[in-house]
Amino acid sequence: MNFDYAQLFSAAIPETVVVITAFLALLVDFIFLRNLPARTRTSLLATVTAVGCLSAIAWMGVSHSTYRLDDAIFVVNPMTQLVKQIILALTIFTAFISVQTNFTRHLGEYFILLLLASAGMMFLVSAENILAIFLALELLSLSLYVLTAFNKQSVFSAEAALKYFLFGGMSAAFTLFGLSLIYGVTGEMNLTAIAAKLAGKTTDPLFYVALVMTVIGFGFKVAAAPFHMWAPDAYQGSPTPVTSFIAAGSKVASFFILAKILFTGFAGAEGDAGWHHYISGWTPVLAILAALSVIIGNLAAISQKSVKRLLAYSAIAHGGYALLGILTADQKGFASLIYYVTTYALTVIGAFGVVAVVENYGGDKLSDFAGLSRRAPILSACMMVFMLSLAGIPPLAGFFGKFYVFTSAIQLGAKSLGLLWLVILAIAMSAVSLYYYLQVLKQIYVVDASDKTTVSVALPTQFVIVALAIAVVVLGCVPNLLVGKILAALSLG
Amino acid sequence: MHDAFFYIFAILTVFCAVMVVANPVSRSPITSAMFLVLTITCMAALFVQLHAFFLAAVQILVYAGAVMVLFLFVIMLLDLKEEERRRIKAVSAGLGTLAVGSILFLIIKSTLQFGQAGAIPPHTEGSTASLGKLLFSNYVLPFEILSLLLLVAMVGVILLSKKDLK
Amino acid sequence: MKPVGLEHYLVVSGLLFCLGLWGVIVRRNLLIIYMSLELMLNAANLALVAFSRFNNKLDGQVMVFFVITVAAAEVAVGLALIVALYRKKQSAHVEDLTTMKS
């Protein structure tokens, strides 16, 4: 046995850096920071996190190595590196948003879990093997369950975590059973080999069972209707920075891996050339999920009183739009999917950042936002950008995300599928969504405040929120900044 | 002989699993936990039949040992007297049974049509040593990920179950 | 009678999975729901070991090794969550998880 450990290590340096940063955060907190005031502690730990993540990002920017561990347990190529960089950036933003809140005194533990969750996402992005996928998914989920329960004063937090855990456990069981059947049918663990085994054969009925189970499992994970029941409660109950992390980071990673499983693993054709052919088995299932998510998410969001809950339902709807990107099942659809989830993640972190600030002055009810424009003009302007972007108003990033997804779906519709009805439905529903996003803005700009105190924002949080708003505008005006990168990575990978 | 073993333990496994989720006599979590131990032990016997000796041992050590002790601790920690008086709602039970029944039907039907099913191939692989070698060469990265996962569990459990220190 | 083959193991595994799922849907006690989840994971384990044997490859067994460990960690976290909730609400029932439905 001569296994090349050194090569594996050098390929996994970014992950190693993140894990070491996680340990450092815990150690620094234990040794030096115990007696400082909470906000200073959080700022310092967020800085540690940022330094670690930035060095990992920089490393991935510099080294252009590709690597493929036996059986595709760990795959490094430009595409995975790009997605990992996005995820780490989201982690940094989340870390700085946490500065604003004071839901816990166990900050070292909070940051180690946050960073290990990011490491889990990174491993997930690099996994093309069903064992590695399952394991990374579990690392991510376990961290998120604990993070959700982090606010020990609040009964909401405990309840949300328990619900999240129950549905997450179901999801894991379904995914695992589905994946194990796939392993059984093909005798292979790695997605490319699975695709090769499936190519050209009449498909076994057992494979369809496996397929449906896997899709159900991931449906829970990405909170696609009708498997979305956990999302509103989990979003509302968890500490707000954690909510933003679940909504942003976990969504990017889950959608990426779902797309990879469906495109690579279940692509009926040989290997990477299989972008255009796929087993039609999963298309109708996914189309139903997408349609339901878009309808249920948008309609349920209208009647919400809590902004976190409203954003949770809007997350379900946005999950539906993203599924549309997966449905197109070609390279362009994949690129549009990545662009869409990335811009969505940036926007939603910003929106939750604003919620985290406002929460300190009451709660996350819509009425707590009343008259915010007088109390915190900069913050309100940022919130307007985020809400309009989520609603898909040009020239913001959210508009181009939807635009790309819809156009790639329509172009495909001409071919065979008739995805047109779904696109029309999605467009109609995003018109509906405008109503509840404007509802939030109405509270902020039109309704008078009962409480006139100016809102004070921690400097790092303010900085991050403004930066995110600028990013949303810039990515909307010059979408090629990101799209170009994605396409370049795709053509190289 | 082999077949007889299989049928005995398969029937026992399924029977005990039924008793875990739908015990007609007792609704207490303790009885369920005890039957879960039995289910797991019978499954270990099935693993032995499949020549997965190491896994059979792990199954008993980790599941029947560690995990079940954890369950029992928590059951004893919580005061669960009122549990037994609540009834299962008929509607949700009916719908659940219907859904699960259809899934079961699908699984079994497609299993029986499964093309590759055949006789057991001659025994070539499966020794604990080769499993260990695989674990520390090809699967060394997942092994490390697993250690992170256990760390997360450790940090999480301590944090969650500790009384909040003021 | 047919000699025992792969499909026999798969039927047992399918039965276990569905029993677990039924338990998760129908039972109301969180601890029993966890046990049902364990049954579902175990069903997948049995399927994996059987496939591993009949495909004559070891990686299925390796996966089971990982799954067992993951399941143990998951149970630990889940039980800690129950304890944390019990501190707040004195209950371990799904029906009591309704504080947020206002």
CATH of the domain at B9: 1.20.120.1200
A455: helix, strand or coil:
coil
How many of the other CB atoms lie within 10 Å of CB of A57? 21
pLDDT computed for residue A422 by the predictor: 86
Question: Is residue B141 in some structural domain?
Answer: yes
Which of B85, B118, B144 marks a domain boundary?
B85
pTM of the model: 0.93
Give the nearest chain A residue to C76 (CA atoms).
A142
Check residues B1 and A323 and name the one with the higher pLDDT. Answer: A323
Contacts of B66 in chain C (CB under 8 A): 72
**From A45-49, A126-130, B114-118, the region with the lowest mean pLDDT:** B114-118
Asked if B114 lies within 8 A of A206 by C-beta distance, the reply is yes
Structural domain count, chain A: 1
A277 band by pLDDT with thresholds 50, 70 and 90: very low
pLDDT at A291 over 70: yes
Closest CA to C46 of C59, C64, C33: C64
**In chain B, what are the helix, strand and coil shares in percent, each to the nearest 5?**
75, 0, 25
Asked if A158 lies within 8 A of C60 by C-beta distance, the reply is no
Pairwise CA distance, residues C37 & A130, whole Å: 20
pLDDT at A264 over 90: no
Question: Is residue B92 in some structural domain?
Answer: no
Asked if A165 lies within 8 A of C81 by C-beta distance, the reply is yes
Structural domain count, chain B: 2
B/e letters for A165-190, b = 16+ CB within 10 Å, e = fewer, are bbbbbbbbbbbbbbbbbbbbbbbbbb
pLDDT computed for residue A382 by the predictor: 95
> Residues A371-377: what's their mean pLDDT?
88
What's the complex ipTM? 0.95
Contact A65, A12 (CB under 8 A): no
pLDDT computed for residue A475 by the predictor: 92
In tens, the pLDDT along A65-83 reads 888 888 889 999 899 999 9
Contact A299, A287 (CB under 8 A): no
Give the nearest chain B residue to A207 (CA atoms).
B110
Phi and psi, residue A202, nearest 5°: -70, 130
Domain assignment of residue B163, given as a range: 127-166
pLDDT computed for residue A274 by the predictor: 40
Pairwise CA distance, residues A314 & A232, whole Å: 10
Block residue for tokens 């209707």:
A225
Block residue for tokens 């909730």:
C85
Check residues A409 and B61 and name the one with the higher pLDDT. Answer: B61
Pairwise CA distance, residues A105 & B163, whole Å: 13
B5 with B60, same domain: the answer is: yes
> Residues A432-439: what's their mean pLDDT?
93
> Residues A392-416: what's their mean pLDDT?
82
Amino acid letter, B113: Q
Q: How far from A321 is each of A347, A424, A485, B124, CA to CA, in Å?
A: 15, 11, 22, 49
A275 band by pLDDT with thresholds 50, 70 and 90: very low
The β-bridge partners of A76 are A67
Phi and psi, residue A470, nearest 5°: -60, -40
Question: Is residue B3 in some structural domain?
Answer: yes
Question: Is residue B96 in some structural domain?
Answer: no
Question: Is residue A382 in some structural domain?
Answer: yes
Q: How far from A287 is each of A208, A280, A290, CA to CA, in Å?
A: 16, 11, 5
C29: helix, strand or coil:
strand
Block residue for tokens 């008739």:
A418
Q: Is A105 on the interface with B (CB under 8 A)?
A: yes
C-alpha angle C48/A180/A139, rounded to 5°? 100
B17 with B67, same domain: the answer is: yes
Asked if C37 lies within 8 A of A170 by C-beta distance, the reply is yes
pLDDT computed for residue C57 by the predictor: 85
> Residues A241-250: what's their mean pLDDT?
93
Asked if B114 lies within 8 A of C15 by C-beta distance, the reply is no
Question: Is residue A158 in some structural domain?
Answer: no
Question: Is residue A327 in some structural domain?
Answer: yes
> Residues A256-278: what's their mean pLDDT?
63
Amino acid letter, A288: I
How many of the other CB atoms lie within 10 Å of CB of A404? 22
Which of B57, B85, B113 marks a domain boundary?
B85
| CATH number assigned to the domain covering C6-89 | 1.10.287.3510
Beta strand ranges found along chain B (DSSP E) = none
A493: helix, strand or coil:
coil
Task: Give chains near A: 3+ CB pairs under 8 A.
Answer: B, C
A171 band by pLDDT with thresholds 50, 70 and 90: very high
Question: Is residue A442 in some structural domain?
Answer: yes
Nearest chain B Cα distance for residue C51, angstroms = 10
List chain B pLDDT tens, one digit each, 166 residues. Answer: 778 999 999 999 999 999 999 888 888 888 999 999 999 999 999 999 888 899 999 999 998 888 889 999 888 888 665 555 556 677 878 888 888 888 888 888 888 877 665 556 666 555 788 888 888 888 999 999 999 999 999 999 999 988 765 4
Contacts of C33 in chain B (CB under 8 A): none
Tokens standing for residue A353: 């950042």
Domain assignment of residue A296, given as a range: 270-493
Pairwise CA distance, residues A227 & A448, whole Å: 38
pLDDT computed for residue B161 by the predictor: 85
Dihedral of alpha carbons A81, A462, A245, A380, sign: negative
The β-bridge partners of A365 are A306
pLDDT computed for residue A418 by the predictor: 64
A269 band by pLDDT with thresholds 50, 70 and 90: very low
